[in-house]
Amino acid sequence: MITTDVLIIGAGAAGLMCAAQAGYRGKSVVVVDMGKKPARKVLISGGGRCNFTNENAAPENYLCQNPHFVKSALSRYSAQDFIELVDRHGLNYHHKTLGQLFCDDSAQDIVDILMTECEWAGVQVNLRTEVLSVSKIDNDSEEGFIVKTSDKNYQCQSLVVASGGLTMPKLGASPIGYKIAEQFELSVLETIAALVPFTLHDHDKQRFEGLSGISLATEVTSENGVTFKENILFTHRGLSGPAILQISSFWRAGQAVTINLLPEHNLSETLNQWQSEQGQKSVKNLLSTLLPKRFVEVLVKDGVIADKPIKQLNHPEISALSEYLHSWRIKPNGTEGYRTAEVTLGGVDTDELSSKTFESKKQPGLFFIGEVIDVTGWLGGYNFQFCWASGYACGLAVR
């Protein structure tokens, strides 16, 4: 049995950040992870360049049953704090749109920074080590937890669960964090794959199957009125792209999404103008100057776009076409699920945790951080920022 102050389950973004902070405070810290490499999700994130934070990260960018829960951690460890950390390590990075920061070279640079911090803080990271069970020490002279793994067994004062969510089972996703929470009678909210592409019903799939690879600048709105103005992408199975991934977190089975295909135009006005200036040209050819030709062709085939000169459109037809393209309603069949999702919605109920320390209110010494808890960020570096912030806060609190 190895004794340590702090045992952390999961060498991901949250676990490694927490480990370094606790180590710098003089705690003995062991991180265990069943993977061959640390932080495998960091490595594949952001298309291999890791969108490691978002300069605008604020509580509004997170879904959580208690919208106030993230405030404390985000204010104590902001995007600027993480930027200062990567600057100290000399990371080369760049700004993309909407406050997103990406590595210039490779996501490996972020993993190297985290592992260097852990090394400087004296943290031991044990890979290829699967946690099998956890139990509370139940006698008067000692307190803490026993953690049995596929390798050694550990005794610790503080047990930090940073085991992530259910996405990408190939990368070691496991439900162990939820199981530990339930074992200690903490409530766990239903989990759903989020930031995930939509699949379409067969008839829509057939309609749009030739459009795979086409990307459009749109504005997508969920049934509960949340809107994202970003691109959508037709895939061979359905719809993806940043706007779809964003809205998937707000979509529930059976609902539709509304897509404004021409957010920068007032189509009625444009159609009227075309009628007076280019009346002989076909509706199809004129609309193909605003939308991808192949998409327009599908709508012509469906009878949505009349195949005739624009001057022949009457007022009701102009209104109907304009309404259709500004409010295109599509009902997804489902999502691609945990296999391709970026995050897991739901998880350990934040009502069970202190928002300052991430310690369980019911079970002193037991902490949950990162994606395993019911906090889900938007697409754009928000999820890593919550991992850094929750890991930091917890690292300062473990005993």
Ligand X SMILES: Cc1cc2nc3c(=O)[nH]c(=O)nc-3n(C[C@H](O)[C@H](O)[C@H](O)COP(=O)(O)OP(=O)(O)OC[C@H]3O[C@@H](n4cnc5c(N)ncnc54)[C@H](O)[C@@H]3O)c2cc1C
Stretch of residues binding ligand X (CB under 6 A), selected from 71-79, 156-164, 251-259, 352-360: 156-164
Among 6, 7, 8, 15, binds ligand X (CB under 6 A): 15
* 196/138 Cα distance (integer angstroms): 43
Considering beta carbons, is residue 332 or 370 the nearer one to ligand X?
370
Considering beta carbons, is residue 83 or 290 the nearer one to ligand X?
83
Contact between 195 and 248 under an 8 Å Cβ cutoff? The reply is: yes
When asked if residue 9 is in the footprint of ligand X (CB under 6 A), the reply is: yes
Amino acid at 347: G
Among 200, 348, 387, 394, binds ligand X (CB under 6 A): 387
Considering beta carbons, is residue 151 or 351 the nearer one to ligand X?
151
When asked if residue 366 is in the footprint of ligand X (CB under 6 A), the reply is: no
Considering beta carbons, is residue 200 or 348 the nearer one to ligand X?
348
Quick one: which of 393, 365, 112 has its CA closest to 385?
Answer: 393
Among 110, 162, 313, 397, binds ligand X (CB under 6 A): 162
Which tokens is 220 given?
A: 């997508």
Considering beta carbons, is residue 238 or 377 the nearer one to ligand X?
377
Among 66, 174, 258, 355, binds ligand X (CB under 6 A): 174
Considering beta carbons, is residue 283 or 352 the nearer one to ligand X?
352
In DSSP terms, which residues pair with 259 in a beta bridge?
220, 328
Considering beta carbons, is residue 55 or 223 the nearer one to ligand X?
55
Among 101, 131, 180, 375, binds ligand X (CB under 6 A): 131
Closest separation in Å from C-beta 390 to ligand X? 8
When asked if residue 176 is in the footprint of ligand X (CB under 6 A), the reply is: yes
Among 6, 11, 194, 353, binds ligand X (CB under 6 A): 11
Considering beta carbons, is residue 305 or 398 the nearer one to ligand X?
398
Among 343, 348, 375, 397, binds ligand X (CB under 6 A): 343
When asked if residue 346 is in the footprint of ligand X (CB under 6 A), the reply is: no
Stretch of residues binding ligand X (CB under 6 A), selected from 135-143, 161-169, 270-278, 355-363: 161-169
Considering beta carbons, is residue 40 or 326 the nearer one to ligand X?
40
Residues 6+ apart with CB under 8 A from 68: 59, 355
SS3 for the chain is: CEEEEEEEECCCHHHHHHHHHHHHCCCCEEEECCCCCCCHHHHHHHHHCCEEEECCCCHHHEECCCCCCCHHHHHHCCHHHHHHHHHHCCCCEEECHHHEEEECCCCHHHHHHHHHHHHHCCCEEECCCCEEEEEECCCCCCCCEEEEECCCEEEEEEEEECCCCCCCHHHCCCCHHHHHHHHCCCCEEEEEEECCCEEECHHHHHHHHHHCCCEEECEEECCCCCEECCEEEECCCEEECHHHHHHHCCCCCCCCEEEECCCCCCHHHHHHHHHHHCCCCEHHHHHCCCCCHHHHHHHHHCCCCCCCEHHHCCHHHHHHHHHHHHCEEECEEEECHHHCCCEEEEEECHHHECCCCCEECCCCCEEECHHHECCEECCCCHHHHHHHHHHHHHHCCCC
Distance of CA 103 to the CA centre of its chain: 18
When asked if residue 45 is in the footprint of ligand X (CB under 6 A), the reply is: yes
When asked if residue 151 is in the footprint of ligand X (CB under 6 A), the reply is: no
Closest separation in Å from C-beta 198 to ligand X? 17
Give the contact letters, 295-334, x = binds to ligand X (CB under 6 A), - = no.
----------------------------------------
Contact between 394 and 369 under an 8 Å Cβ cutoff? The reply is: yes
Closest separation in Å from C-beta 45 to ligand X? 3
When asked if residue 31 is in the footprint of ligand X (CB under 6 A), the reply is: no
Q: How many positions of this chain bind ligand X (CB under 6 A)?
A: 37
Considering beta carbons, is residue 6 or 261 the nearer one to ligand X?
6
Q: Where on the chain is the footprint of ligand X (CB under 6 A)? A: 9-15, 32-35, 40-41, 44-46, 50-51, 130-131, 162-164, 167-168, 172, 174, 176, 342-343, 370-371, 381-384, 387
